[in-house]
Amino acid sequence: MSELVLQADALRKSYRMGASRLEVLKSVSLTLQRGEVCALVGSSGSGKSTLLNLLGLLDRPDSGRLWIGGKEVQGVSNAAAARLRAARIGFVFQQFQLLPELNALENVLMPRRLASGNWWRRRNAEREAARSALQRVGLAQRLTHKPNQLSGGEQQRVAIARALVCGPQVLLADEPTGNIDCRNGDEVLSLLLHLSREQGAAVLLATHDPKVAQQCDRILTMRDGLLVSSELTQA
């Protein structure tokens, strides 16, 4: 029996543009099952990133309801939202968003540290988990390298390891291959999908690339702030 890990109901979001308001999301509803990999496609400005931000609790909708792991999260405090992100949500960004002062291992370790809270205790287990996550993305030899010493593809692998190190229920990826070359992009995408499926995380992956979308279980299409279609693929 499938398990619902994310549910959004009638999410709306608008931004003030001078005297007027620009409605970016117009009542978007969707669900994600455990282990399901969904592609979110649409042209630029269709509202993909805004939707990911709302689902990842990085931003607040004007209206609508949202459940993560069966718990309604609408209206939770900033601190509670942060704890939910640490425990249940992983992010992979187009710009990688690694912390440049930390090496690969420390970058991957960071979400574990933030989730655990007990920073003063020795956390060999956490360090081991981070090391293992980097091994799984093929960077066992790059643990102590800083982001500026890594290629784009390697940086995105670190970002994937960081997103999955806490075992999230939901993984939100915004154009994860948008900033790397084709060959590396394919490898990164395969890795992302493989590891997510292995961990049973639900994935929502925003992309422009139809080839990427075809590798997912379902394709959600957005246009002008509306979710206009939801199609199953052959993947």
Partner 1 sequence: MTLATLGIAYFRRRPLLIFSAVAIALGVAVLFSVLAVMNGFLAELQTSIRTISGDAAVDISRSRGGEFRPLEAYEKTLADVDGVDHLDPQLNWYGLIGRRGSAAVSDPRSTDLSGLLLIGVDTGFEDSEVESDAGGRPILPMRLGVGAAERLDLEVGDLLGVITFVEGSGAGSRERSKAPQLLQMSCRLVETIKTGRYDQDLDRAVFPRQALAEFLSSTAGFNELLIRTTPGADPVQVAADIERAMQLAGFTHPGYPTTFSWRDRGGNLLRAVENQRGMLSIVFFFIVLVAAYQLVATLTLTVTEKRRDISVLRALGATPRRVIRFFVSLGLLISLIGISLGLLLGQWLVQNLTTVEKWVGGGQPIFRAEIYKFDHIPVSVDPGSVVVLVGATLLVAMVFSLIPAWRASRVKVIDGLRSR
Q: Which of 9, 26, 31, 58 binds partner 1 (CB under 8 A)?
A: 58
Least separation in angstroms between residue 115's CB and partner 1 is: 6
> Token pair of 183, please?
């060959």
Q: Does 56 bind partner 1 (CB under 8 A)?
A: yes
Where does this chain touch partner 1 (CB under 8 A) — which range of 24-32, 78-86, 149-157, 185-193? 78-86
Q: Does 73 bind partner 1 (CB under 8 A)?
A: no
User: Could you tell me which of 195, 196, 194, 216 has the C-alpha nearest to residue 206?
Assistant: 216
Where does this chain touch partner 1 (CB under 8 A) — which range of 27-35, 64-72, 98-106, 181-189? 98-106
What are 40's strand-pairing partners? 206, 220
Least separation in angstroms between residue 84's CB and partner 1 is: 8
Query: Which residue lies nearer to partner 1 by CB, 8 or 219?
Result: 8
- Please give the DSSP secondary-structure letter assigned to residue 198: H
Neighbouring CB atoms inside 10 A of 180's CB total 22
CA-to-CA dists, residue 2 to 6, 108, 168, 179, 233, angstroms: 12, 30, 17, 34, 18
Q: Which of 23, 62, 106, 186 binds partner 1 (CB under 8 A)?
A: 106
Burial (CB count <10 Å: 0-12, 13-18, 19+), residue 143? middle
Judged by the rule CB under 8 A, the positions of this chain that interact with partner 1 are 53, 56, 58-59, 78-79, 82-83, 85-87, 91, 93, 95, 97-102, 106, 109-111, 113-115, 119, 162, 166
